[in-house]
Amino acid sequence: MASPIYKRILLKLSGESLMGEKEYGIDDKVLKLYAEEIKLVHELGVEVGIVIGGGNIYRGVENSSDGIDKVTGDHMGMLATVINALALQSALEHHGMFTRCLTAINMEKIAEPFIRRRAIRHLEKGRIVIFAAGTGNPYFTTDTAAVLRAIEIEADAILKGTRVDGVYDSDPEKNTEAIRFPEITYADVLKRDLRVMDLTAITLSKENELPLIVFNMNIPGNLRRVILGEAVGSKVVSRIGIKSPELHL
């Protein structure tokens, strides 16, 4: 039986992915699918941390022109990520998994405050940890929050689940002739101005040599395939040819 190549991962999910076929909000079918996918890798013994966006509820950046100032809008976006985190937490627990939700903004009656040592301890005990409220600061995206949390918990890689199957030279949903990169360096991502993550997140990943795998989360079994080292999606690394860390059981 194949073994996972990662011991600990940080899974980044967009808030928009939770909409499914809806125009906004949360699709129960998507929550169920994601919970099932996460359970498959958790059963392999992989420690899972999750950061989820809030774009399905509120996008501070895009709505900053509607009379709400940028900082207030970003705070609203942080609260939106908490709503999504609680929804995902409930779905995971309905599938029999133990979870903890940690927030960058203190709200003790809803979730635990983020404390690095506590988060790592939860992971070591086999609990799935969901990090909500971004970094707790305006002007930082949940992509940056995902990279920051991944570094703090010493994750082996960031897995970014999207609705496309990797990194392309242009938007594959608009350009049918877009070329996918099976593997690409952070330097090339920056040079080509590819919108994999925001500039801060990419730079932080590059400086810490943290591998990033971009894949289609909506295809059943894809998350497990990535964990097992199969050629799924695109891998962004500091230097081409760097091998993934082996998990020695």
Domain assignments of the chain as residue spans, ordered by start: 8-237
Q: What is the pLDDT of residue 58?
A: 80
Q: What confidence tens digit (pLDDT) does each residue in 211-222 have?
A: 999 999 999 999
Binning pLDDT at 50, 70 and 90, where does residue 68 land?
A: confident
Percent of the chain past pLDDT 90, that is, above it, reads 79
Mean pLDDT of 229-242: 86
Domain 8-237 has CATH 3.40.1160.10: yes
Counting every residue written for the chain, the total comes to: 249
Q: Is 213:159 a contact under the CB 8 Å cutoff?
A: yes
Q: What is the pLDDT of residue 65?
A: 52
Cα gap 238→8, rounded to integer Å: 19
Most confident of 9-23, 26-40, 53-67: 26-40
Binning pLDDT at 50, 70 and 90, where does residue 77 land?
A: very high
Binning pLDDT at 50, 70 and 90, where does residue 67 land?
A: confident
Go through 140-179 and write b for each residue having 16 or more CB atoms within 10 A of its CB, e for each that does not: bbbbbbbbbbbbbbebbbbbbbbebbbbbeeebeeeeeee
Terminal-residue alpha carbon distance, the chain: 13
Q: Strand 8-13 to strand 157-162: parallel, antiparallel, or no bridges (unpaired)?
A: parallel
Q: What confidence tens digit (pLDDT) does each residue in 91-114 have?
A: 999 999 999 999 999 999 999 999
